[in-house]
Amino acid sequence: MPLPTYDTPLIFESGQPGRANRYLPEGPALETLLPADALRADLPLPDNSELDVVRHFTRLSQKTFGIDTAFYPLGSCTMKYNPRINDAMANTPALRDLHPFAPDHAAQGALAVMWELERALASLFGMAAFSLNPAAGAHAELTALLIAKAYFKQRGETQRNVVIVPDTAHGTNPASAAMVGFKVLSLKSDAQGRVDPDDLRRVVGPDTAVCMMTNPNTLGLFEPRIHEVSDVVHEAGGLMYYDGANANALMGNTRPGDMGFDLMHLNLHKTFSIPHGGGGAGAGPVGVAAHLVDFLPTPVVRANEADGTPSTATGWRESADLTFALDFDRPQTIGTMRSFWSNFAHMVRALAYTYANGGDGLTMVSKLAVLNANYIRASIRDVIDVPYDEINRHEFVASAQTLKRETGVRALDLAKALLDRGYHAPTVYFPLIVPECLMIEPTETESKETLDGFIAAFREIVATAKSDPERVLAAPVNTAVGRIDETRAARQPDLRWRARDSTG
């Protein structure tokens, strides 16, 4: 079922001056209130009726593909169903309209939400504590590397400035390392797509700061020697960082803390069912082992028992009999990472999701995510290259290399052909080490029927590529637009509308 193709003029090209919606009483003339030189001369924005605004954005939504539209097997992005109860809870007026500077005594429920979620995450992932401060995964990586930097500074080991990242790592890993002045050392994966502790041993040393790992890695493969990897890094005096982008594969089964990781982040917008919203807002809590807790960003939520003594809860605990405060007074903190405490509405969603599943449910979530991924792999491996054809975790990579050689059809073309058949495309050309890569992550919320439909479409496309490659190369033809001239977009950037009579 293709998306609608109708033309939607820009909001700036519609409406009439003075066609205002009466949301507010009329305001006084600004000139009577403020000096003329402080005011702007005009405000050249369009006036549209509410109905026209509704139609405009409804049409735009119809030209947008979401999980709610159809299957979205975008590898590394964990596009699972976003339960509506989560949004309803985030929309509770007392929480939605809460001002960040509200005094603690008037925000106890909100603080309880943050504290309970923090406890649940610490328990699930085996860390001593989490900070809910970072706004997204990349922001969390930056936070964690600043923690590492502060830790080494305190120990007088400022020569530690190398971050080791496997060549399968997400692009954010090296980019985050660069933002704290660390040098990046890229480590080649072995023939099995894993990090070999012996290779690692040859590159670690007194300059090793952090080794950033994703497990399962971006090939969807579990790193079976992860504890040896941790030992190598720890013996060299470095810290282990867990990129939680793939945490949906292991909940309730194994924990980063038990693998030897000192620092980690989670993408709550992946694993904990928060809607991606077209690219954010996300949420990227950072977890740390006990020796790094003092460096966490401020504020942290402090819990007190009914008698006023600090709570010493180490695992999950309910909050009803506790009182809470935001703690800004932490001498060793790296500081704060954002304007206000956390992407709180997302903490509400993540906690609602945690309640909905419980510990057993989250364990089953991961198992079924792995089941779905392996089911697709096993069902297409006879028609496409699967470079690591073994039990994968929540995602796997296929390669169109042979298909390209035989037919000229590339991974990108397969992706576009899937769009024509009403499916979202997998992630393509990542990880970089697999040529013509397609990274497929179905998530646990898809039924067998949906997967079977996708498998049939995929097989049909590959068959078409072999019999009539031109048809696949021409895709997509059922979408609002065809393939876009990206070179023109980059060479002659047009990033905003301008009024026709303005030369600006």
Please say which residue, 290 or 489, places its beta carbon nearer to another protein. 489
Q: Nearer to another protein by C-beta: 406 or 471? A: 471
CB half-sphere exposure, 420, CA atoms < 13 A: 20
The CB-of-474 to another protein minimum distance in angstroms stands at: 9
Of 340 and 467, CB closest to another protein: 340
Pairing state between β 300-304 and 323-327: antiparallel
The answer to whether the CB of 166 falls within 8 A of the CB of 195 is yes
Q: Quick one: 48 or 189, whose CB is closer to another protein?
A: 48
Q: How far is the CB of 466 from another protein (least distance, A)?
A: 23
CB closer to another protein, 58 vs 304: 58
Strand order in the sheet with 427-428: 396-399, 437-440, 427-428
Distance of alpha carbon 203 from alpha carbon 166, whole angstroms: 12
Q: Shortest approach of another protein to residue 427 CB, angstroms?
A: 8
Q: What's the closest the beta carbon of residue 407 comes to another protein, in angstroms?
A: 21
Neighbour-count burial of 191, counting CB atoms closer than 10 A to its CB (0-12 exposed, 13-18 middle, 19+ buried): exposed
| Crossing angle for the helix pair 108-125 and 344-380, to the nearest 10 degrees | 30
Q: How far is the CB of 10 from another protein (least distance, A)?
A: 6
For residue 462, the minimal CB distance to another protein (Å) is 18
Nearest residue (CB) to another protein, 150 versus 383: 150
Burial (Cβ within 10 Å: 0-12, 13-18, ≥19) of residue 387: middle
Nearer to another protein, 36 or 466 (CB): 36
CB closer to another protein, 236 vs 283: 283
- CB–CB of 445/357 below 8 Å? no
Q: How far apart are CA 397 and CA 175, in angstroms?
A: 24
Smallest gap from Cβ 364 to another protein, in A, equals: 7
Separation CA 158–CA 182 (nearest Å): 11
Closer residue to another protein in complex, CB, 404/421: 421
What does the block give as tokens for 90? 């985030």
* Cα-based distances in Å from 317 to 290, 344, 346: 19, 20, 20
| Alpha-carbon distances, residue 111 vs 102, 120, 176, 311, 350 (angstroms) | 11, 14, 29, 14, 14
Cβ proximity to another protein: between 45 and 406 the closer is 45
Q: What is the DSSP-derived secondary structure letter of residue 27?
A: P
Length of the chain: 504
Shortest distance (Å) from residue 191 CB to another protein: 19
CB of 169 to another protein, least distance (A): 9
Shortest spacing between CB 222 and another protein, in angstroms:
7
Handedness of CA 188, 166, 196, 389 (dihedral sign): negative
Q: Which is nearer to another protein, 113 or 288 (CB)?
A: 113
Tokens of 420: 């024509």
Q: How far is CA 417 from the centre of its chain?
A: 26
> Can you tell me the distance from the alpha carbon of 212 to that of 263, in angstroms, rounded to the nearest whole number?
9
Residue 497 one-letter amino acid: W
Q: How far apart are CA 314 and CA 122, in angstroms?
A: 8
Q: Shortest Cβ distance from residue 310 to another protein (Å)? A: 19
Phi first, then psi: what are they for 238, rounded to 5°? Answer: -95, 175
Give the angle subtended at the CA of 58 by the CAs of 55 and 53, to the nearest 5°. Answer: 40
